[in-house]
Amino acid sequence: MVRAIRGAITVENNNREEILAATKELLEEMFRENQIDREDFINMIFTLTPDLNAVFPAVAARELGITNVPLMCMTEIPVPGALEKCVRVLLQVNTEKKLDDMVHVYMKEAIRLRPDLKR
């Protein structure tokens, strides 16, 4: 069965080190919360708000050792009033877990995107 898990995190500055560190932090928390094994991944789709362009967030996944999974990075459309400096990810995984058992992870200022999710 395939399940999708969403996550998002914000950064303070548009620089390579900060974007990679935040993306790694987000991914590791998503893996931990959902007890995901690397062989369960189908793909990862990353988006960045238009104010972030210092590095592709997929680099963070590769640095975590995720080398045999298709990754894609995209820029979000610039919507007035949208959350700034945000990295988002959509993970698709093979799992027998129920949809309600999947834990979506929103960190730092990105918590504002899904205040309905209590962690």
pLDDT tens digits for range 31-53 = 999 998 888 999 999 999 999 99
> 16, 32, 38, 62: which is the annotated catalytic residue?
62
Q: Which residues of the chain have pLDDT under 70?
A: 118-119
Residue 16 is among the residues annotated as catalytic for this protein: no
Residue 86 is among the residues annotated as catalytic for this protein: no
Average pLDDT of the chain to the nearest whole number:
94
Residue 6 is among the residues annotated as catalytic for this protein: yes
> 18, 33, 76, 109: which is the annotated catalytic residue?
76
- Return the bridge partners of 93, or none: 3, 41
Quick one: pLDDT at residue 117? 77
Residue 88 is among the residues annotated as catalytic for this protein: yes
Q: Are 5 and 104 in contact (CB under 8 A)?
A: yes
Residue 73 is among the residues annotated as catalytic for this protein: yes
pTM, to two decimals: 0.94
